[in-house]
Structure 1
Amino acid sequence: MRVWGYPHPGTWSIDAPITVVVTTGSARVRSRGITGLRLAEGRAHPWRIGEIPGVDPVTALFMCAGTLTDDQMVIALDAMTSTADNYPGLREGRPTLTPIDIEQCLRAWVRFPGSRRVRDGLSRTRDGVESPKETETRLLLATGGLPEPVVQHEIHENGVLIARSDLAYPDLKIAIEYEGDGHRTSRDQWRRDVQRQRELEDLGWIVIRVTQLDLVDTRPLLDRIRRAVASRR
C-alpha cells in the first residue's frame, strides 16, 4: 500500500519483512526477511510500480486488511477511490477504482482476514476526499455523535464560486477546514486562507479550522462544533 502511496499506519523500515505472493500450487518462497503468501489464480494481478514489482492496489489492501482498524480502513478506501487530483502522495499511473470495483473483488475473494472490515468500510467511504486528515476529521465527527458533514462542498454567491470547504453543514452554514503543514509554512497559502475565511464569514458562515492537535485532543473541537451546530438550530 505504501508503494502505491495510499495511507498506511506506522512507518516502514529497511528491516520490515517483504511479502512475496505466489499462486496456489506454486512453491512458497522461503527466505529470511520474506513472508510467502499463496493466493488462488486470478486473485492477485502483477503490477510494476515504477521499478518495483508488486500487486494491484486492491490485492494490497486486502492483504493488509487484517492489520487495519475500522477507521484506518475507511481512510485507505477514501484514498483509493478518490477522484481528487490533489490527494497527497498518490502515485501517478495508479488504476482508477470505484467502490463498486472493490466490492466486486470482495465478492470474488469471499473471505479473508479483515474482509468484514473492508465491507463495512465501503459503506462509510465518500467520493472526492482530498486528504487522510479530512477523512479522519469526518469520522471523528460521526464518532462524536455529530451529523455527517458534506465532503468538499462548493460555496457560491451570485453564481460565483467563493470557496470549497473540506467538510461542511451547508444548511447551517458551517464550514470545517483541516489545516495541514502546507497552510502553515506557505505564506501565500496562509494569506489565501485568511482571505477566504473573511469572505465566508461576511456571507454568514461559521468557519472552524482544524489542526493535528485537534485530532489528538478531540474534546475541545467536538465541543466547538456542537456549539456551532446548536447556534444554528
Structure 2
Amino acid sequence: MKTPPLALILASRRRALTGSSRSLSRAYNKGELVRVRAGAYYSKPAWLALKAWERYSATVAAVAATDPSVSFCYLTALRIWRLPSPRVPDHIHLLTPSPHKAGRVPPTTTAAKDPKTGFSGLEAVRGYGISRHHWQATVVQHRGFGVTSLVQTVLDCIVRVELPEAVAVADDVLGGRRKEIERLTRKEVEDASAYLASAAKRRRVLDVLTLADEASESAGESRSRALIHVLGFPAPVLQHTFYDSEGFIGRTDFFWPEYGVIGEFDGDAKYLDDDLLGDRTARETVLAEKKREDRLRALGYTVVRWDWKAVTNPELLAQKLQAAGVQRRNPRRMD
C-alpha cells in the first residue's frame, strides 16, 4: 500500500508540540482541512488532489494513527501486503474480538460547508466506512500496521472474492517477483487451508491453487486467465516464446496453438508507467508493439488484444476470443 504524498495532521501530535489543537479546529471550520477521522486531518486541497487509492491509504493511516490497537484484515490487509485488488474497497476492514461489534459504519470523513454555497467540496469524493469482522485470525506487524498474517489474508480473500480476483491474488503471492517475506509456497497455502472450518472453503482454495500460475506477470493476465476458464475456453499456453527469420520476437501472454491464436492483455501501465517504459517514450512503446504484432501475424497467427474493460466484462472477452477463432466449450460459474 503506497504512502499518501502528504502526512496526516494529528491533533494529539499538535497538542504534544504546542499544548493545544484548537488551531486545527479553526482551520477545519475555515474549510482549509478535511477531518479524515476524529483527531486526524488532511489539507483539503491535497485531499481533493489524491487518487481514490491514495485517499483509501490515507484513511487506513488515519484509523491506525487514532487507534494503534486496531488490526486490519480482509481487503485492507490485502492492500497492506501489496497484493492485487481490482477496485478500491468501500470500507476499511478491521478485526473485532466481540461479535456484538461486528458490522459496518458509514464514512466519517468530513469537511466544513462553505456558508455561501452550502457545499463542503467532498460531495463528489468517495469516503470509506469501517467494516468490523469477528473471526479467528493471526495478527502480525507489517509496514507499521497490525494486520492479519500473509497466509491468513490470502485465505480470507480467496474464499470471499470472485474467482478472477482470487486467482490474481494466488498468482501474485506465489510468484517469484515478490520479496521472500511477502511470498508463499503452494504447500503453505494448502496446509493452512486444511484448518478452515468449512469444506466448501477448503475446496475453494484448492480450486484456486489448481488455476494459479506463477508465470503470470500481472493482475490483468491473472484475471484474464481465470475468466478464460470460467467462460469455457481451453486453457492457453502462458509466456510462449516466438522467433522468426530475424530472431527473437517476444513472449506472449496467451497462446492457443490448436487455433493459431495469440492473446495479449494490454494494461495501461505498459504505456504510462515510467518504470515499465524504461528508456522508451509511450509513442515508441506503441510503435514497438505494432512491429512485434506484425511479425507475429506474418507467421500466420491471429493476434487478439484486450484491456481492463474486457476483464471486468466477461462477455466482451468471450466475444473477442470467439471472433479470433478460439472455440468456447463449457462455461462455468464465476463464484
What TM-score, normalized by structure 1, do the two folds share?
0.74
Q: In structure 1, what is the equivalent of residue 38 of structure 2?
A: none
Correspondences of 1:147-166 after superposition (within 5 Å): 147-157=234-244, 160-166=247-253
- The 3 A distance-change label for structure 1 pair 224 and 70 is closer
- How many Å separate the matches in 1 of 2:135 and 2:213? 31
Q: Which amino acid aligns with 2:249?
A: I
Q: Report the Cα offset of residue 10 of structure 1.
A: 4.1
Higher relative contact order (CA 8 A, sep 6+): 1
Q: In structure 1, what is the equivalent of residue 207 of structure 2?
A: 120
- The 3 A distance-change label for structure 1 pair 93 and 99 is closer
Q: Which amino acid aligns with 2:297?
A: E
- How many Å separate the matches in 1 of 2:163 and 2:189? 16
Per-residue Cα deviation, 1:178-207 (whole angstroms, up to 9, x for no partner) = 111134542232122112111211222211
- The 3 A distance-change label for structure 1 pair 73 and 230 is closer
1:137 corresponds to 2:224: yes
- How many Å separate the matches in 2 of 1:95 and 1:216? 27
1:187 corresponds to 2:283: yes
Q: Report the Cα offset of residue 56 of structure 1.
A: 2.6
1:208 corresponds to 2:304: yes
Considering only CA atoms, is the larger Rg found in Structure 1 or Structure 2? Answer: 2
> Identity of paired residues, percent?
20
Q: Which amino acid aligns with 1:116?
A: R
- The 3 A distance-change label for structure 1 pair 140 and 37 is closer
1:4 corresponds to 2:81: yes
Out of 16, 21, 24, the residue aligned to residue 92 of structure 2 is: 16
- How many Å separate the matches in 2 of 1:159 and 1:189? 20
Q: Report the Cα offset of residue 2 of structure 1.
A: 1.3
Per-residue Cα deviation, 1:31-61 (whole angstroms, up to 9, x for no partner) = 996545434xxxx3x5432222323321112
Secondary structure of the corresponding residue to residue 54 of structure 1: strand
Q: In structure 2, what is the equivalent of residue 38 of structure 1?
A: 136
Correspondences of 1:64-103 after superposition (within 5 Å): 64-83=157-176, 85=177, 92=179, 94-103=181-190
- The 3 A distance-change label for structure 1 pair 9 and 210 is closer
Q: Which amino acid aligns with 1:11?
A: V
Q: In structure 2, what is the equivalent of residue 24 of structure 1?
A: none
Q: Report the Cα offset of residue 221 of structure 1.
A: 4.0
Give unpaired runs (5+ residues) of structure 2: 1-77, 106-129, 273-281, 328-335
Moved more, 213-222 or 57-66: 213-222
- How many Å separate the matches in 1 of 2:232 and 2:248? 31
Contact 1:65 1:73 in 2 (8 A): yes
1:104 corresponds to 2:191: yes
Per-residue Cα deviation, 1:69-103 (whole angstroms, up to 9, x for no partner) = 233222211221123x3xxxx6x564332222211
Secondary structure of the corresponding residue to residue 309 of structure 2: helix
Secondary structure of the corresponding residue to residue 156 of structure 2: helix
Q: In structure 1, what is the equivalent of residue 292 of structure 2?
A: 196
Count of residue correspondences:
213
Secondary structure of the corresponding residue to residue 92 of structure 2: coil
- How many Å separate the matches in 2 of 1:129 and 1:216? 18
Moved more, 30-39 or 71-80: 30-39
Q: Report the Cα offset of residue 131 of structure 1.
A: 1.4
Q: Report the Cα offset of residue 227 of structure 1.
A: 4.2
Q: Which amino acid aligns with 1:19?
A: L
Contact 1:19 1:37 in 2 (8 A): yes
What TM-score, normalized by structure 2, do the two folds share?
0.54
Q: In structure 1, what is the equivalent of residue 148 of structure 2?
A: 55
- The 3 A distance-change label for structure 1 pair 230 and 137 is closer
Per-residue Cα deviation, 1:100-136 (whole angstroms, up to 9, x for no partner) = 22112222x1424833321221111122111122122
Q: In structure 1, what is the equivalent of residue 110 of structure 2?
A: none
